[in-house]
Structure 1
Amino acid sequence: MDELKTSFRILVSSRRLCLLLRLKRAVMSSRTSPFQHILHTNTVPTSSQCDEIRSFLHPLRPELSTLDAEIHRLQTLLDAATKERNDLHGFVAAHEALLSPMRRIPNDVLGLIFLHTLPERRNTALDASEGPLLLMRVCRYWRDLTLATPRLWASIHLVLSPHASGRLVNCLDDWLARSRAVPLSITMQTPRHFPRITPLPRSESEVNESLKTPLQTLLLASKRWQRVRLAISVAEEALTLSRLTKDDLPLLSTFDLTLSAAAEESDHNFNFLATPALRRLAFAGAYDVLPQSIQWQNLTALQLRAYHEDTPCAFPYAFLVHCTALERLALTISGNQVSVSDERVQLPRLTRLSFAFFGGDPNNGQTHALAILERLELPVLHTMDIPFTPASEDLFQMPGYANVRCLILAGMMLTADELAALLARLPQLSRLRLTGEPIVRDPINGNIPDGEFLRRLVVNPPEGDAANPPLCPALEQLELTSTRAVPDSLILAFLVSRCIPPNLSVIPQLKPLAAFSCMCYRLAQLDVRNTPELASALSNGLQLRLIYEPPPLLARYSPLEGTEREPPRPHHVVHRSRLEQSSWLHEFSPDRFFEW
């Protein structure tokens, strides 16, 4: 009843105010000012005119005060009604919250939803903005459920800090305790933007013997390690890790170890890698540090970044003959101490090979890399990744390599003619990814990107007919991850020639293009997606991904340079916001080799 009375008073007062304002407006509209000719101008009135203006405004000021008082009274009534309305709204909302379907979700279902909030392709960072630490901040009920769900705490991404080791240890203690008996997935790395951790002087180390490091804390839960990636930067950490035995790691299935030069100086063995559960291994360091006690016959994926600086070695590596179950192999060989023997190794199950070679004679580095790959017999290989080494046409004449159906190449290391000759050896190729454009070798100006290389893949009947099929007739996916010179008009011509039915009927072995992706470091020249020529192809399922990132701005001359008003200099980096959202760009990155 009180609310009705208040509302009625406001309604009556509002009507009074409206009537009063209408009356005032009528009066004001009928008023004329004797100073109309100088109103809204920059005219300076005389002293006598100033006296006349004051006399003219004197009777109007009480009316203005009356209106102000009426507005204040009504505003007071409105504020009181608004407060009562907000209180009632809050009271109703509190009761409606009890009816929320979220309250009736069972704990096991809600816990499963929580698990799907974790990062999909990496471990959870020890940060309040993600993972269980974020879920705990919602309400007490979610906090209790988060603490009671051990799988939320079994994923750990740890970035070491030389200034916050104690805090990290305390945080790790909490995470490990909350994960209970669940197998652990761990990544540990050193920061990129801080000095690397240096070992303490001997005297100070002895004083702090009782202090645990993050690695030592993790070692306490080694029996639960399942998927682990470690970056070891100092010798003390390598020695700590070497104290493990294979019995300490009964669940370890995936292990990724990166050693710095300083870490390799210690007397370590890493014999714990002999654990029979190990299936996927990544190792980056000196080749002679790699333990030979690994049960190679159990490995299904191997990523080896081996450095041969002082110890001569012959390829194929002795352990490769035992890797009969290997399905994925990534080899990065660096150094001048690698020779090639006459032996050959067959990997009967290997389907994906990534290869990079750095070292040897600069004049015949490609030949040396070819000799290394020639020692591998790969009967079921279908994916080949050559990210840094110039690919050779001769490679794909070898048995095993000629059947590649997915190829990832560093395009900027080849000319358009070399690329065309290479692709001519791969009639079964269905997916091609090029990093950068092929080049035109100019002895004066250096290598120039060749924006016309894509024309080699454009189908132009009758030039490409059944008797003379075009390059890569089975190509269904083409990805260009870093282009600058290829024009949009050529991209459109390529898409039309590979998708339009007339070409497909003239060349029976030509497969329609299913997907095209391109990362262009330039501005868009055409609206390729909305061209009429591609309307039918897009409606039939063509996946078209075009990303345009303008080149970074160059610093310009400014007369304010050297003053506090100097304009900020543009950063010579590409904006990464949209690039990070395009997962296809990172599909063949080394970090994704194990589908982490």
Structure 2
Amino acid sequence: MSSPLASRLGTNYSAQDKEIDEIKALLVEPSQKLKRLNDEIAVMRKALDKLVEERDILSTYVDTHQALISPVRRLHLDILEAIFMACLPTHRNCVMSAQEAPVILGRICSSWRTISLKTPRLWSRLHIVEPSYPYHLPPGVYQSKVEQRLEVADAWLRRSKTCPLSISLESSYDYGMGPPFTHPVTPNAEPFLDILIPFASRWQTISLAISLSAVQTLLRLTENEVPLLKSLMINERLDNPHDISQWTLPQACILHASGLTEFSLMGRNAHSPDLPLRWSHLTALTLMGSGWGPGGSTVNPQTCRVVLDILSRCSELRACTLLVHAPLDVHLRDFVVECPFLHTFDLFCDDIPLQVADRLLSHLSLPELRDFKLRGVKLEDPQSAFSADSVLSFLTTLTQLESISVDSAIFSKPILINSLHALPPTVLHLTITNPTWRPPGREDAIFDDEVLEALATFPDRPSHIPALQEVVVHYCPKLSDEALLRFIMSRPTLKLVDIKFDRERKIDILPSLQPFTEAGLKTSITYSTLPPPQFSPWQGLPDVPLTLWGSP
């Protein structure tokens, strides 16, 4: 509609007195027409509301009758139970949450709730978390939460009827914390363990992160009380950081269970060979005890001699993770321990790691090894003249090796390069991790362009690892973008390159990699980015916005 005041509309213009009567006269007819339209709309809306009401009644009638012939209602009970089982997580135990199965299955309808509660296998796996103490709440609230969780855990496991059980228990991390974090109530895993013990006859896979006192409770169980036990994992957490007291190890304890084939122990200070395990039955073994007491004192260190003694007893071992301590055993006899079935070996060497590994590997024969990890916590002296001949020789014997992962800092650069050259041609996956922290006097990083070039393939130099498909390198400040690009272009058969730089990007190589990614190469190349300077006018004030500190 045209208006004589079109130029004034939508502006802040205020009508003059002489224009007011003109505007009122102008709006008489439009206002009458607007009223007629509103009346017509009201009539039509009433008719529409009536139609919607009739539609909803019919829709409800149809839907409720169609539900009677719904395919899911016609499923046989066995099929529905199988579907329910497929809803459970496969990589871990179930949690006490209505956001996932099996709990959520009972929230769909009464029928499904009845079926889920009467399907024992749904309740045969459980992850229990001991509540952490909430500092801002009174002790009674914490205790109420503990009792609630104990009640749920007991009810959950009773629903499993006679099924073998898989249980994991995660105790609080707050043990032994002093002021100002001292709790009015000290977290205690023993009540949770007390809930689990009545079901011990059905334990099959048990993983426990518990305190030393709770471990003592666990060890009171005899082998006859756990007839189904196949896997036991214990992560011992000290009630007090200075507590190095030893376990009591009766020969008839749970560790001597006849069916126990997988055993994992972390945080243990006892002499590992004294554990009353049926060593010849084990197929998977993890021993990651600290071995050290307060002030750096040695408490039953797991030396090369101890490790060789253990491995010599484990004739059926398939997978193994071991922490080995110095000092080096200088009087090892000239013998070799063979593990004929071992396919996965994770070796963590504490203190002078390369020399410890060199000594240990010189006494091992692992003909079926396919996955090897060599880790350590102490950086190798770059000026060290140590040659690591046994490590190099060991690598050449691994004719079945497919995956290898190493911490680069336990090597000097020449030894790392020689080790890469010594890898067998069967290697498919290579992972190299560089330290994110380096002590004073050791600011250089071992992994650089020269090391990566040792893996490259050139027309005049065939590859040392022709089958290599995946390369993962994390935290490499000295590796250049250009060297990475040359390496990838030299190996067109690569399927995965995962590189994490702890520096900012200097050159964008992704456009140059497009032909390779289009051919199927998967790449993950990330850089660390320094946070931008903050120039907030709120800085230093108590009500500073959270986004100043990087929070959402």
- TM-score higher than 0.5 here? yes
The equivalent of 1:342 in structure 2 is 332
The equivalent of 2:284 in structure 1 is 301
Q: Counterparts of 1:442 and 1:219 in 2: how far apart (Å)?
A: 47
Q: Counterparts of 2:204 and 2:546 in 1: how far apart (Å)?
A: 51
The equivalent of 1:228 in structure 2 is 206
Matches within 5 A, 1:415-494: 417-436=414-433, 446-448=443-445, 452=449, 453-461=451-459, 463-464=460-461, 469-481=462-474, 490-491=483-484, 493-494=486-487
What is the CA distance between 1:381 and its match in structure 2? 2.7
Q: Counterparts of 1:534 and 1:479 in 2: how far apart (Å)?
A: 16
The equivalent of 1:566 in structure 2 is 545
Q: Counterparts of 1:104 and 1:493 in 2: how far apart (Å)?
A: 61
The equivalent of 1:126 in structure 2 is 96
> RMSD of aligned C-alpha atoms?
3.5
What is the CA distance between 1:283 and its match in structure 2? 0.7
Q: What do residues 185-206 of structure 1 show as CA deviations (whole Å, max 9, x unaligned)?
A: 11111245x56799xxxxx99x
What is the CA distance between 1:437 and its match in structure 2? 5.2
Q: Counterparts of 1:418 and 1:570 in 2: how far apart (Å)?
A: 43
The equivalent of 2:347 in structure 1 is 355
Q: Name structure 2 gaps, 5 residues minimum.
A: 133-141, 179-184, 293-297, 381-386
Give the partner amino acid of 1:498.
R
The equivalent of 1:321 in structure 2 is 312
Q: What do residues 144-175 of structure 1 show as CA deviations (whole Å, max 9, x unaligned)?
A: 11112111101111111252221122111111
Q: Counterparts of 1:555 and 1:180 in 2: how far apart (Å)?
A: 61
The equivalent of 1:516 in structure 2 is 496
The answer to whether the 8 A contact 1:315-1:340 is kept is no
The equivalent of 1:279 in structure 2 is 261
Tell me the matched-pair count. 503
Q: What do residues 471-529 of structure 1 show as CA deviations (whole Å, max 9, x unaligned)?
A: 32332333335556656665554344323xxxxxxxxxxxx44x324154577934469
Matches within 5 A, 1:39-188: 39-161=9-131, 163=142, 164-188=145-169
From 216, 222, 235, the counterpart of 2:194: 216
Q: Counterparts of 2:532 and 2:18 in 1: how far apart (Å)?
A: 64
Give the partner amino acid of 2:235.
T
Q: Counterparts of 1:320 and 1:413 in 2: how far apart (Å)?
A: 24
Give the partner amino acid of 1:342.
L
The 1:249–1:137 alpha-carbon spacing in structure 2 relative to 1, beyond 3 Å, is same
The answer to whether the 8 A contact 2:409-2:445 is kept is no
Q: Counterparts of 1:519 and 1:403 in 2: how far apart (Å)?
A: 26
Q: Counterparts of 2:396 and 2:344 in 1: how far apart (Å)?
A: 11
Q: Counterparts of 2:463 and 2:545 in 1: how far apart (Å)?
A: 56
Give the partner amino acid of 2:347.
F
The 1:400–1:445 alpha-carbon spacing in structure 2 relative to 1, beyond 3 Å, is closer
- Per mean C-alpha deviation after superposition, the further-off stretch among 58-67 and 392-401 is 392-401
What is the CA distance between 1:138 and its match in structure 2? 1.0
The 1:287–1:365 alpha-carbon spacing in structure 2 relative to 1, beyond 3 Å, is same
Q: Name structure 1 gaps, 5 residues minimum.
A: 1-28, 199-203, 500-511, 576-596
Give the partner amino acid of 2:224.
D
The equivalent of 1:21 in structure 2 is none
Give the partner amino acid of 1:311.
V
Q: Counterparts of 1:267 and 1:371 in 2: how far apart (Å)?
A: 30
The answer to whether the 8 A contact 1:395-1:401 is kept is no
3-state SS of 1:387 partner:
strand
Is 1:397 the counterpart of 2:423? The answer is no
Matches within 5 A, 1:547-562: 548=526, 551=529, 553=531, 556-562=534-540
The equivalent of 2:359 in structure 1 is 371
What is the CA distance between 1:222 and its match in structure 2? 0.3
3-state SS of 1:398 partner:
helix
The answer to whether the 8 A contact 1:554-1:570 is kept is no
The 1:173–1:283 alpha-carbon spacing in structure 2 relative to 1, beyond 3 Å, is same
CA radius of gyration, larger in: 1
The 1:111–1:484 alpha-carbon spacing in structure 2 relative to 1, beyond 3 Å, is farther
What is the CA distance between 1:426 and its match in structure 2? 1.6
Q: Counterparts of 2:477 and 2:58 in 1: how far apart (Å)?
A: 62
The answer to whether the 8 A contact 1:169-1:212 is kept is no
Is 1:384 the counterpart of 2:372? The answer is yes
The 1:36–1:223 alpha-carbon spacing in structure 2 relative to 1, beyond 3 Å, is closer
The 1:40–1:354 alpha-carbon spacing in structure 2 relative to 1, beyond 3 Å, is closer
3-state SS of 1:259 partner:
strand
The answer to whether the 8 A contact 1:135-1:143 is kept is yes
What is the CA distance between 1:84 and its match in structure 2? 1.6
- Per mean C-alpha deviation after superposition, the further-off stretch among 265-274 and 135-144 is 265-274
Q: Counterparts of 2:263 and 2:439 in 1: how far apart (Å)?
A: 43
Q: What do residues 542-595 of structure 1 show as CA deviations (whole Å, max 9, x unaligned)?
A: x625364764745623122134353524559xx9xxxxxxxxxxxxxxxxxxxx
The answer to whether the 8 A contact 1:333-1:356 is kept is yes
The 1:401–1:285 alpha-carbon spacing in structure 2 relative to 1, beyond 3 Å, is farther
Q: Counterparts of 1:72 and 1:265 in 2: how far apart (Å)?
A: 84
The answer to whether the 8 A contact 2:366-2:398 is kept is no
The 1:69–1:526 alpha-carbon spacing in structure 2 relative to 1, beyond 3 Å, is farther
What is the CA distance between 1:93 and its match in structure 2? 2.2
What is the CA distance between 1:82 and its match in structure 2? 1.7
The 1:41–1:274 alpha-carbon spacing in structure 2 relative to 1, beyond 3 Å, is closer
Q: Counterparts of 1:283 and 1:311 in 2: how far apart (Å)?
A: 16
The 1:333–1:557 alpha-carbon spacing in structure 2 relative to 1, beyond 3 Å, is farther
Q: What do residues 118-157 of structure 1 show as CA deviations (whole Å, max 9, x unaligned)?
A: 1111111111211211111111121111112111101111
